[in-house]
Structure 1
Amino acid sequence: MLPSQLSSGDVIADRRADYAKMLAESGEQASAAELMEQALELTPGWAAGWFTLATYREKAGNTLGAIEALNQVLVLDAGDVFGARLKLAVLGAGDMPDQPPSRYVERLFDDYADRFETSLVEKLGYSVPQKLAALIASTAAMLGHFRLAVDLGCGTGLFGPEIRARVDRLEGFDLSKGMLAKAADKGVYDHLGQADLSLPPPLSGIFYGGLAPRRADLITAADVLMYLGNLESVMTIAAELAASGAVFAFSVEDAEEREGYLLRDSLRFAHSEAYVGAILAAHGFVVHNLVRSVIRMDAGKPVRGILFVTQKSA
């Protein structure tokens, strides 16, 4: 659900917002912005409306106006469910955050759950689950069968069917309840739970209800880390989950830079090989295999990623 579809609570304001959306879809961004301004005169406390106005202003070439609207979003919504801070950073009007707001990520994927697979797989050529499973299978010294696998950020469960035949027990965790419901429909996971990978292990939700640390001999994170930025928390979670010799396989978007990570216009993070390698080493993981590949399309352009297969030191 787009922010512009969230009701303002005022019939006239909603009607103007609907007309603005029609104008924006026909390419008349400046006119759409004017109508949204009129709607916000009636409902100045409408955070979603201000975010939509920022979108129209940016597309109309009014960057300063977009920044003004995004700052108003933050005044009205300190929890930043719309990701305004991320957008401000992309526009050069704020520092790049280490992590996106958890409320933003949760809402994004709850709203996306019903059309996620159709959009990502059929339209954008998403192929990470198949490529990651194949990379695990082809990596020398990796186990052929796993006792317990934990799929971090499992989403709708696309990776589950790729690995199910090679594991005795499969657990999946995701921040979005909507995505978890879709994963449950597949019937391939033995356990599904809600967890926040941006939080350290005691708070993440992965070690509750008797689900002990050091329990996994395979940990995966397919197309998840680009929503995290700083990877310290998720690497700590993986290290806590990993039994001695456990395999940790995952993907990142390739920053194609020598160091660090960056925030792209897509509001996703891209990581350098050097940054990932250093943080893996700090948490006791050794890289056994690494492949660069196109992982999806975005706005007609290929998104390049890096797939890693690593192992926890004994």
Structure 2
Amino acid sequence: MKSNKLKFIDLFAGIGGMRLAFEKAGGKCVFSSEWDKYAQKTYLNNFGELPEGDITNIDEKSVPDHDILVAGFPCQPFSIAGVSKKNSLGRDHGFLDKTQGTLFFDVARIIKEKRPRAFLLENVKNLKSHDKGRTFKVICETLEKLGYSLHVKVLDGKHFVPQHRERIFIIGFDTNVYGGWERFDFPELEKPLKRMNDVLDDRVDDKYTLSNKLWNYLQEYAAKHKAKGNGFGFGLADPEGICRTLSARYYKDGSEILISQGDDKNPRRLTPRECARLQGYPESFKIVVSDTQAYKQFGNSVVVPLIEAIAKQMVQAMNIHQHEKSYEKEPVVI
């Protein structure tokens, strides 16, 4: 029996946060790509599939047909490739020349070859201002010239989890299919309700407590920068509020999100499981790597329920169009 589920591919998959979200929205993953071996291990243990490796080595023609392309691609500087470089690659992509040598180029060549009906690209908020806005301009021009109408917005994960996490989302719909008239709106974000206490464990191993040496260093570092009028320093999370953005560098000292343990004990880091909750991962999600790798993985990941809300809006827009298209084909009875 043929499945009616929308098929999607998961590029720069990390540990599968985007996949979880699109599966919850009713999608079926048919391909994934992730080069980091530790992220691959986590992905395999949670989805039973080992992602393909380095995307730069993947032939776009070998990628399965799909309805939606999903990618949280890294941000890199763009430079116009030379003629010799283009010839050596054996590719003649015209306006795509501007993105060669960047990982966005690999997303663009797959979109060009496979023509998904829609895509979702996620990146850091600063993508818009990166390289004086040139990077973002090239990305948007490239996608529009490929024949996609764009919807772009910066959204904050704090509406779903107790974490201030702003990311830019670029949604595209194939103009050959939708004609630029797709009925897509970004999700309405309700007032944040989650608090740090909602993700914290009552009892935590003492290994997560900061040593006296590290705690003293962080306090001295913060005091030094405060005296200079800078805002650098550690962040003690308000248990009744939200925390700073969890980053991939959290494994180093945990300074951006520390949890108070009272006056008689040094603050502590979050545990990997608490980091998972902070990104909206379910309790059933398996953490199968070291704490250091887990911190990197969750710091690089996405707020799963936010992506799910966006995915549902995308799927709804695609289903509405399909329904209207079917309705147009119905014979008129007089």
TM-score clears 0.5 = no
Higher relative contact order (CA 8 A, sep 6+): 2
TM-score (norm 1): 0.39
TM-score (norm 2): 0.37
Which of structures 1 and 2 has the bigger CA Rg?
2
Whichever structure has more strand as a proportion of its residues is: 1
